[in-house]
Amino acid sequence: MREGRPILLLGPCSAESVAKVLLTCSCIQAFAPHAVFRAGLWKPRTSPHAFAGVGEEGIAWLVQVQKEYGMPVATEVVTPEHVQLCVEAGIHHLWIGARTTSNPILVQSLADTLQAINNPAITLYIKNPINPDIDLWIGAIERFRKAGVTNIVAIHRGFSTLYKGEWRNAPMWSIPIETMSRCPDVPMLCDPSHIAGTTQGVEQLAAEAMKIGFDGLMIECHHDPSTALSDANQQLTPEQLQRLLEKLPTYTPHAIPDTTLVQLRKQIDEIDDEIWQLVARRLEVVEAIGEHKKATQMPILQTDRYDDIVQKRIAWAKENGLSEELVRTLMESLHTESVKRQL
Ligand code: PEP
Ligand code: MN
């Protein structure tokens, strides 16, 4: 995490009326005055029967929020026209939604528009694409960078997968973590609302993101979630949001590791040395087996043997406090490399 307080974007999924955005903002401002107030005007919904947002009409409502409560407002832009309308009205925090990031032609048209507008006051938040494609996400970041947008922030909102697990959108933490290391100058926020899909998971995911070292959070909040016109299941009440923020773990980034950390890292380096030497030795034996299979005209793939190894290791792992997932992931990598070597 970078220095300073976490970046927060808080507010309803959609702006529903001027009275409602003013009410929600007044609640949020009382406990998070430094946050950016979020509300969607144009909603790219999956179903044509779902509420698609109030559109242009809501711009004046957000401008009023900004004036009355002194909080900057953020909204989602999908087309160049949305960008023009928002910037002309003085809305400078704009986010690109997951469905838009997935479309490079649309992303390029938004980048061209921002390049022509050339307003350094704009902050652009780029959500990950709906599919777990890190290059598509980084590609979008690069298109805006190339267009001269200087204030770019990434938002991790989870990934759509065929098999629904615990969450509405799978967190797949390794993707935002890899994005952070490939784009170290781009702050990374987490949107636990769209990952969780229900209020229960939001607090846990928000805390996990902060522990990992994310720079902030985008969280949906509605004054009366059960009546919300979109994403009713995942929006927190202002009271729930306040409690979540109060409990949030905060970490001060240390630029210089202390002696404890240096010593522990030394141990890790030594263990890694041993692991890699063993991996290299294992692959030498794999190659010898490969030669033998070739000489005796035996096929490389022996699924019974592989399943047997994996099952034995899983049983051992469980007794020793390691997860089945870890065994499967490591064994799959080792096995793929072994088959390649024998080929
Ligand atoms: C939203 O923020 O309300 C939204 C539609 O998000 P996403 O693009 O992540 O689905
Ligand atoms: Mn939403």
CA-to-CA distance for 329 and 302, rounded, in angstroms? 19
Orientation angle between helical segments 238-247 and 18-31, nearest 10 degrees: 30
Q: Which residues pair with 189 in a beta bridge?
A: 155, 216
- Cα of 250 vs centre of ligand 1, distance in Å, is 25
Q: For the chain, how big is the Rg over CA atoms in Å?
A: 24
Predicted pLDDT of residue 161: 87
pLDDT of the residue at 338 = 93
Nearest CA to ligand 1 atom 8: 97
Could you tell me the distance, in angstroms and rounded to a whole number, from the CA of residue 144 to the centre of ligand 2? 23
Kindly give the number of the ligand 1 atom that is closest to the alpha carbon of 98: 8
pLDDT at 229: 97
d(CA 191, CA 38): 12
Please give the pLDDT value at position 252: 67
The residue behind tokens 């994403």 is: 231
Contact 252, 214 (CB under 8 A): no
Provide block-wise average pLDDT over 10 residues at a time, the chain (343 residues): 78 98 98 97 94 98 97 98 98 98 98 98 98 97 98 98 87 96 96 97 96 96 97 98 93 74 94 96 95 92 91 95 93 94 91
Phi–psi pair at 93, nearest 5 degrees: -105, 115
| Ligand approaching nearest to the C-alpha of 169 | 1
DSSP assignment, residue 137? H
Write down the pLDDT at residue 162: 81
Binding-site residues, ligand 1, Cβ < 6 A: 13, 40, 97-98, 127, 157, 194
Measured from the Cα of 158, ligand 1's closest atom is 9
220: three-class secondary structure by DSSP? strand
In sequence order, the 6+-apart residues with CB closer than 8 A to the CB of 46 are none
For residue 157, give the ligand 1 atom closest to its CA.
9
Taking the CA of residue 230 as reference, the ligand 1 atom at the shortest distance is 3
Identify the pLDDT of residue 5: 75
Query: What is the structure's pLDDT at 253?
Result: 62
pLDDT for residue 255: 64
Can you point out the beta strands (E) in 148-201? 151-156, 188-190
CA dihedral (201, 202, 207, 211) positive or negative: positive
| CA 198 to centroid of ligand 2, rounded, Å | 11
